[in-house]
Amino acid sequence: MFEIGNSLREARLRQGLDFPELEQGTKIRGKYLRALEDEQFDVLPAQTYVKGFLRSYAEYLGLDGQLYVDEYNSRFVVGEEEPQSRPRRSASPARGVQVQSRVVLLTLLVIVAWTRGEPQQVTPVGLGSPKATTHQTPVVPAAKPSVRLLVKASRGPCWLQVHKTSATGPILFQGTLDQGQKQLFTARKLWITLDRPENLVTVLNGRTRLLPVGGVKTLIVTPRGIRPAV
C-alpha cells in the first residue's frame, strides 16, 4: 500500500512541473489533477473518470499507471458501477405468424406421412439449428517502452543537441539552455551531445539520473538508462 496523492505530488515536484503545463500536456483540468494529489476523488464525476485520469497523470509523470489504478481499486472502490439494463425487444408480429405457419405445415406433413405408413423426417426451412460461429480474438502487439527525458540547466548554461532514434535522426533541439531553463523530450531512443553535463539535472521516466562529467559528451538515452556512445 502506498500514498497515491503524495507519490504523484513528489514525482511532479521532482520534475519541476506546474499545473498549467500539466493541464496542457495531459488534457486534464488542473482542479482534477489537484484532486488526485489530495486524494479527493469525490470531486471527479465518476469512478471511471478517476481511473482514467489517474492512469494518464501517472504515466505522464513517467510512473506505472496500472499500479495506481490497482491501488485505487483496492482502497476506494466498493462496488462496480451497474450498467443500464436494456429493454428486451418483443418478437415482431410478422415473425410470429411465419413461425406459426411453419409449425402448422410440419404438423400436416407428419399426419400425412403416418396415414400413408411412410414416416419421414421433415425439417422446415428456417427451423434448423444455426451454425456455430467462431470468433477469433485479434492479437494486439505489446507497446514498446518509451523515453521521457526532462533536462534542466540548474547549475549554469549548457549547450546540447538532441537527435531522435539515432545519431543521424531528426534533431529535436539544438542550442544553449540558460540557467533555470528546461526541455522535455519523448521518443523511443535519444542521442544527446552536450558540453557541460555537470550543469544539468536529468529526470528519466520519473527518476533522476547522473551524467558523466568532463568535456563534450555524446550520450545514448533508452528506457533502461543513459550511457556514453561508443
C-alpha cell at 92: 415482431
Decide if 72 contacts 8 (C-beta within 8 A).
no
DSSP letter string, the chain: ---HHHHHHHHHHHTT--HHHHHHHH---HHHHHHHHTT-GGGSS-HHHHHHHHHHHHHHTTS-HHHHHHHHHHHH--SPPPPPPPPPPPPPHHHHHHHHHHHHHHHHHHHHHHHHT-------TT-SPPPPPPPPPPPPPPPPP-EEEEEEE-SS-EEEEEEESSTTS-EEEEEEEPTT-EEEEEES-EEEEES-GGGEEEEETTEEE----SS-EEEEEETTEEEE--
Q: What pLDDT does residue 91 have?
A: 42
Q: What pLDDT does residue 106 have?
A: 65
Question: Rounded to a whole number, what is the distance in angstroms from the first to the last CA of the chain?
Answer: 42
Given the DSSP bridges, would you call strands 171-177 and 158-164 parallel, antiparallel or unpaired?
antiparallel
CB neighbours of residue 175 within 10 Å: 11
Q: What pLDDT does residue 137 have?
A: 60
Q: What pLDDT does residue 57 have?
A: 93
Q: What pLDDT does residue 142 have?
A: 53
Which stretches of the chain score pLDDT less than 50? Answer: 81-94, 97, 112, 118-120, 122, 124-125, 127, 129, 140
Q: What pLDDT does residue 154 have?
A: 87
Q: Which residues contact 4 (CB under 8 A, 6 or more apart)?
A: 36, 39, 54, 68, 71, 72, 75
Q: What is the pLDDT of residues 129-172, one digit of tens each?
A: 455 555 566 554 555 678 898 889 988 998 889 998 888 889 99
Q: What pLDDT does residue 86 have?
A: 43
